[in-house]
Structures are given as C-alpha cells and as structure tokens.
Structure 1
C-alpha cells in the first residue's frame, strides 16, 4: 500500500475535471495521498516529492490525441531530475469523446516514457465523455471504476479499466451539441461563431 502522489497535469488544473477525478480517487484510496497541480514553477518540487513514494498517479485530460503540454514540460524536467527510487506510475485519463479508447495513444505515450526512464508502469483508467459524465446519473459508474483503480494500485495488481456513458452515439452527439450551444450562449458566442474556423477577428 503506502502513500501515493497524485499529479494533475491539466493546463487548467485548479478548475478542471481532472481535479474532480483526483478528489474522487483520494477519497477512494485507503492510505495517504499527496496532491499537486503542475505549474511552471513547481516542477522540481514535485520531483522531490516523488522521492520515497511507492506510487504516482498522473491525472490529466486528452489533448489532441496526446498528453497536454503542461504534463509534457514536467516530464522533461522529471527526466533530468527523477528520484533515485522509481515509483510505479499509474494513469487516470479523461477525454471529451464518448469512446474511452480515444485515450489509448496517450496511454502508449506515457508507457513509452516509463520504459525509457525506468519507471514501472501500473494501472490505467480511461474515461470517455469526461467533460459531461460527472454531471449525469452515470457518475456512479465513474466512481465505481475509480474505486477499482484505487484498489488495484493499493494491491499492486495492475489493471486496465475503461468507462463511459452507456448511451448511443446519436444521443451523445445531440446532448453534447446542446451543451456546447448553451455554454457558448452564456459566454456571448453564437452557434454560427462556434462553427467557423476563425478563432480571432
């Protein structure tokens, strides 16, 4: 068992879905948890905190089918300042797509990093529809998978887990379109503006 270090690699970590997932994990994990948001200024502090822990959990969203630059920059620092004793690395990744398999490339990226740098690779939880699922009754499915992830890490029984909303793609597309249209309206952006490729005038 032992203490686990939870590292949030989201670019908007303090107000991110990843933070909510990290909090749910911390409640499910029966031992001590230490939590960090990655910032530009705390890379070395996190590297030092990794010394003496048996497990590290990276929590982050999928960005352009890969890992966010916030996490990438930290991994560059970690490569040069890693702990003497390498903890086992586990992952909790969420994406806005319905299919959790969209996270597979990011999992392979992290797996390759671990192999190249001598970190044991542990358990993985891939979450689909991550932007919305926590605000639906299906959040119970996420909490169940997070408990299984916590148990797998605690018991050192590596597992690969996935979860998403059990609805059709058509229903998901309709609900997500409605969500983003309402989100845009709250911020003074029309449906037509969101449909254009222009991000600045």
Structure 2
C-alpha cells in the first residue's frame, strides 16, 4: 500500500500541517503501511512529476490550514491544475484513490473547518476520487509549542486519538466521516494566550495596542 501525505500550508516547513502529518505518519507506521511519500505543496505551481507520483498512490491525505473558512488559494490553484492533469490522462490505469483531509485552524473549535473539508469532498467528486472524510482540528496555533508532548497524551490526547483512528481507516480504506476535535485545554486559557500573542505581535511591528481596534474607512 502506498500513501501520499501532502502538506498544503503556504508556510512550507515547520507548520502545524506538517506537525499533524508527522503524527499521522507515526500511527501509519504502526499499521505497517508499506510506502509513504511526503510532499509539500506550498506554492501555486506543481509539476506533472508530483501529480504522477500522487496518482500512483492508494490513498492521499491533504493537510492544510483554514483560510477564510476554506482552502488556501495557492492550494486551490494546484488542485485546479491537478484536475486538468487527471482529465488529460483519464485513460491511464491509475488507482481508484481514496482521499482524506486534515484541516486545522487558529480558532478553538474544530467544527470551524467543516466547509473546507466539504470542499475537498467536492474536488474528489469532480475528479473521480473517493472522499473518505477527515478531521477538523481547532486550536492549531498551540501545537507548534508542544513538540515535546506526544500525540495521544496531555493537551494532544484527543487529537492523537483521532489521528490513530484515521490511520486505521486509511489502511483498510474505510470512511472516516467528518470528525471535529480540539486540544485538551481550557477554552478560556486558549483565548487568553491568543490575546497575549496578538499584543506581542503588534508591538513587534512598531504599533500600539490601540491599533488593534483601528477600522478601515
């Protein structure tokens, strides 16, 4: 079995999307998956080599951050090109590929990712892939600060449990459904941490706290 893990974060390396795929890969290795390829689609242009590699896979996992309740624009552009490539080569004997998605956002609630997951489903329907669901993860902003905490433990307990279930479903080709989860962390503390982060960020950029309330006229 061959699985393609694709990070669709525009930030490239050291992103929450890659952190989540790394966690998923650990669970997939426990399922004795034969081959896993890892790709980063962080710009709007990808060559046919990438598309060919992905189409030779039995399953694809897209992981990306939520942008305006949907798919990041650069990744959307790649998917459009991918669709064109598939249509040009529709007579080629590719696998009937299963597709899963992991979408994270900076809000606390994982359900905020529902529309982005559904959009991946629409893409799959258009090109003939089997959309098998995925996970919407809230609180993505804190995961990069939890490198020393393994998935399935502490604040990453719920997320790790869902990644484990997803890996099992990928291995046997089952539908995962649309699952939404958050870190095992108090919502009010997450909100306080986010507010502190915004304040520190605006000061680093030479502005004042009152500028947070500035309106565009």
TM class by smaller structure? 0.7 to 0.9
Q: Provide the residue aligned with 1:171 in structure 2.
A: 189
Q: Provide the residue aligned with 1:16 in structure 2.
A: 15
Q: Provide the residue aligned with 1:192 in structure 2.
A: 210
Q: Provide the residue aligned with 1:76 in structure 2.
A: 80
Unaligned residue ranges in structure 1 (runs of 5+): none
Confirm or deny: 8 A CA contact 2:108 2:139 kept in the other structure.
Answer: yes
Alpha-carbon deviations, 1:125-172, whole Å to 9, x = none?
A: 110111114535412332222122111111222113221034554333
1:52 to 48, 51, 56: 56
Q: Provide the residue aligned with 2:160 in structure 1.
A: 143
* Structure 1 residues 123 and 109, CA gap change in structure 2 (3 angstroms): closer
Give SS of 1:13's match.
coil
**More deviation, 166-175/30-39:** 166-175
2:14 and 2:213 map into 1 onto residues whose CA distance is 26
Give SS of 2:55's match.
coil
Shift of residue 70 of structure 1?
1.6
Give SS of 1:12's match.
coil
Q: TM-score, normalised by structure 1?
A: 0.87
2:213 and 2:6 map into 1 onto residues whose CA distance is 34
1:149 and 1:165 map into 2 onto residues whose CA distance is 17
Shift of residue 180 of structure 1?
2.4
Unaligned residue ranges in structure 2 (runs of 5+): 147-153
Confirm or deny: 8 A CA contact 2:99 2:132 kept in the other structure.
Answer: yes
1:182 to 200, 210, 213: 200
1:45 and 1:191 map into 2 onto residues whose CA distance is 48
Alpha-carbon deviations, 1:73-121, whole Å to 9, x = none?
A: 1111111112642411100110111111111111111111111211111
* Structure 1 residues 143 and 169, CA gap change in structure 2 (3 angstroms): closer
Q: Provide the residue aligned with 2:113 in structure 1.
A: 103
Shift of residue 186 of structure 1?
4.5
1:50 and 1:179 map into 2 onto residues whose CA distance is 37
RMSD: 2.1
Confirm or deny: 8 A CA contact 2:8 2:75 kept in the other structure.
Answer: yes
